[in-house]
């Protein structure tokens, strides 16, 4: 990011020089100007190399950044714009550019409730004002699922900072089953979103603990405690599960059948990245996945109701069977015959 920012400062500086027709600009003059600009803006007392400025000029001349700057060399040593009044700051924004930027703005707007994005609010507002001011009546055409009443979102900023700065935290947490809240001393490792809820993965008492943010009531950052960084790779840690509940059990091959009307949905939106199609017939499709069996997987299966059948393993098949029997009882009245 820093190198990109420095490059933009140099492009802007070279542009300002070449727009000044009252002076002749040699390559050394442009090098000095870029070096001075970096010192002024970034406080960096560095001398920009000849090669760097030459590459900057080449980049400005190209279409890679959309500049196509008409930079020419005259009298074999001076640089100028061949087109009077040209500036990279005056590049027109096309209708396609406006659409792309507006789509990006609308996607970012979906995250307005998260404190991590609050600092971007002013940036987005200025971008909207400058790019989209002529289209005031447009409404968002991208909608992300979110729970406006979800609790605990205000903790994301604190948790993010604790993970980034490697700080130990004290969390006051009350699970759904607990009568009273409990205090935990945690080494936060990762924030995880699943099914429109946020979770904290933390190291606690030589093991990992998974806490839902909406059950946290308070957080205190402990500055004096030594932080244990487990260097968790989220993709690796969650690779064998559906959802967030990771256990010490080995992943199992889960085989299930889905009827022909719902199979296309499962094909286009797999239960897990290991999903494979085993067999197809006129009634439906048989799939399998390699996962740990957990609560989230069971809920996913139950969500398909009578359109799905678990074939293997037998233990999971029986668990789903028992849950469905209890569900049927919930709909039976004393007068029902069967």
Per residue in 245-272, pLDDT (tens digit) is: 999 899 999 999 999 999 999 999 999 9
CATH of segment(s) 252-330? 3.30.1370
Indicate the pLDDT class of residue 138, thresholds 50, 70 and 90: low
E strand or H helix that includes residue 279: strand 276-280
The CATH class that applies to domain 2-90 reads mainly alpha
- Residue 60 pLDDT: 92
Query: For the chain, what are the domain ranges?
Result: 2-90, 92-144, 153-237, 252-330
| Contact present, 191 and 156 (Cβ < 8 Å) | yes
DSSP states along 46-61: -PPPHHHHHHHHHHHH
User: In the predicted model, is pLDDT for residue 281 greater than 90?
Assistant: yes
* SS3 assignment, position 80: strand
CATH architecture classification, 153-237? Roll (2.30)
Residue 85 φ/ψ region, left for φ over 0, alpha for ψ in the -120 to 50 degree band, beta for the rest: left
Which of 134, 126, 137, 128 minimizes the C-alpha distance to 107? 128
Model confidence, pTM: 0.60
**Structure confidence by residue, pLDDT tens digits, 60-94:** 998 887 788 999 999 999 999 999 889 988 766 56
- Which residues, other chains included, contact 180 with Cβ-Cβ below 8 Å and sequence gap of 6+? 174
User: In the predicted model, is pLDDT for residue 43 greater than 80?
Assistant: no
């Amino acid at each position: 990011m820093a190198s990109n920012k420095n490059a933009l400062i140099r492009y802007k500086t070279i542009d300002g020089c070449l727009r000044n027709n009252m002076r002749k600009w040699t390559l050394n003059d442009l090098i000095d100007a870029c070096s001075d600009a970096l010192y002024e803006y970034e406080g960096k007392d560095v001398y920009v190399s000849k090669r760097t400025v030459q590459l900057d000029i080449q980049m400005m001349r190209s279409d890679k950044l959309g500049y196509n700057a008409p930079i020419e060399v005259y009298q074999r040593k001076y640089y100028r714009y061949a087109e009077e009044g040209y500036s990279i700051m005056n590049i027109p924004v096309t209708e396609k550019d406006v659409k792309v930027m507006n789509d990006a703005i609308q996607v970012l707007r979906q995250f307005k409730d998260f404190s991590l994005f609050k600092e971007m609010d002013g940036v987005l507002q200025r971008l909207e004002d400058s790019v989209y001011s002529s289209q005031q009546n447009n409404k968002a055409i991208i909608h992300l699922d979110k729970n406006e009443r979800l609790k605990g979102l205000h903790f994301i900023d604190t948790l993010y900072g604790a993970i980034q700065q490697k700080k130990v935290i004290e969390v006051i947490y009350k699970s759904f089953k607990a009568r009273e809240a409990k205090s935990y001393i945690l080494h936060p490792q990762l924030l995880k979103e699943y099914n429109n809820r946020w979770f904290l993965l933390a190291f606690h008492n030589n093991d990992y603990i998974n806490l839902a943010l909406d059950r946290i009531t308070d957080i205190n950052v402990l500055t004096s405690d030594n932080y244990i960084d487990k260097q968790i790779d989220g993709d690796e840690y969650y690779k064998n599960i559906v959802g967030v509940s990771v256990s010490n059990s080995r992943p199992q091959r889960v085989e299930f059948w889905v009827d022909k009307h719902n199979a296309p949905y499962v094909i286009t939106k797999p239960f897990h990245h290991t999903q494979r199609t085993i067999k197809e017939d006129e009634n439906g499709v048989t799939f399998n996945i390699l996962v740990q069996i957990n609560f989230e997987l069971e809920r996913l299966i139950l969500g398909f109701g009578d359109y799905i059948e678990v074939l293997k393993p037998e233990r999971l098949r029986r668990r789903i069977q028992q849950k469905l029997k209890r569900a049927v009882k919930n709909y039976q009245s004393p007068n029902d015959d069967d």
